Amino acid sequence: MPAHRLSHWLLLTCLVALWGSAFAFAKIAVETIAPEWTMAGRMAVAALLLLPLCLIAGQRMPRGRQAWTWLAALALVGNIVPFFAIAWGQQHISSALAGILIGFTPLATLFIARALVPDERVTPLRLAGFAIGFAGLIVVIGPGAMRDFGGEGPRLLAQLAVLGGAFCFALNNVMARLAPAMPLIAKSTGVMLVGAPAGIVLASTATPPSFLVEAGPNALLALGALGLFPTALAALVFFRLVESAGPTFVSLSNYLVPVFAALAGYLIFGETLRPGVLAGFAMILAGIAISEWRHNS
């Protein structure tokens, strides 16, 4: 694959900002809305926002069993399964450890893409860059989180669940590249139209759908923002970027999102910004630079 253009880096930056904003919005939403309904609600809001946009843009929804099978698979692998697996896992392990486990997504994407996408290559330099980026992620989150790694019983199952979510994200990166050609907005809309009802059904089995009555106005606004920014708009950017730059490049966002979330927490909620965040960010940027050094890869 040729060297990435400036537009690819701009789209990656936009995607990191959109996905990173989810942490701030979710923190407000889950104060009065159950986590499972937060996940289902954001997909429902995204579907309601994207469908009119699709109609205004004059894009027809895909037809045929093959297209909708792909859309259902993307919704399942990229949203429903990882969202619920990670949410369940975080009940038994720290968010810091979960963030590190999710950081395996770029490495998993690298090898899955190598097996399924002809123009994706695994080189020593790229492996070194991804390893440095992962080390930077650990520094950002805090090496102390690794003390919670391992164990048995629910704790071990929780770690496996979060790792499973990371694998789903990696697989979704590659599946999005291999999916049949569809109009961008129609593809994003189709994924949400399939995922929202499935998410609502799953959420209903865990918690009664009474959050609209019990939720506060701030939580509902945060839920709407979750549906708009890190779900609907992020889906548009994600599919555009994965088609033009490839799944491995898109997966680099998993190293950068925690940095953006930490900066947003500092600026919005006044949370402490540890020196390790900036040091880890520098390591992540160095790892990305090494992995994308095309002349040597």
pLDDT tier, 277 (very low <50, low <70, confident <90, very high otherwise): confident
List the domain boundaries for the chain: 6-296
Q: Please provide the average confidence, as pLDDT, over all residues in the chain.
A: 88
Q: What percent of the chain has pLDDT over 70?
A: 94
Q: State the Cα–Cα distance between residues 92 and 107, nearest whole angstrom.
A: 25
Q: Is residue 15 a contact partner of residue 234, using CB atoms and an 8 Å limit? A: yes
Q: What is the pLDDT of residue 295?
A: 43
Q: Does the structure show a pLDDT above 50 at 296?
A: no
User: What is the reported pLDDT for 147?
Assistant: 66
The per-residue pLDDT for 152 is 64
* pLDDT score of 271 more than 80: no
Question: pLDDT digits over 43-64, tens only?
Answer: 999 999 999 999 999 999 998 9
Burial (CB count <10 Å: 0-12, 13-18, 19+), residue 295: exposed
Q: What is the pLDDT of residues 198-216, one digit of tens each?
A: 999 988 888 877 666 778 8
CA–CA dist 270, 91 (Å, integer) = 25
Predicted local confidence at residue 297, as pLDDT: 42
Q: What is the pLDDT of residue 244?
A: 94
Please say if the pLDDT value at position 165 is more than 50: yes
In this predicted structure, the answer to whether residue 177 has a pLDDT above a threshold of 90 is yes
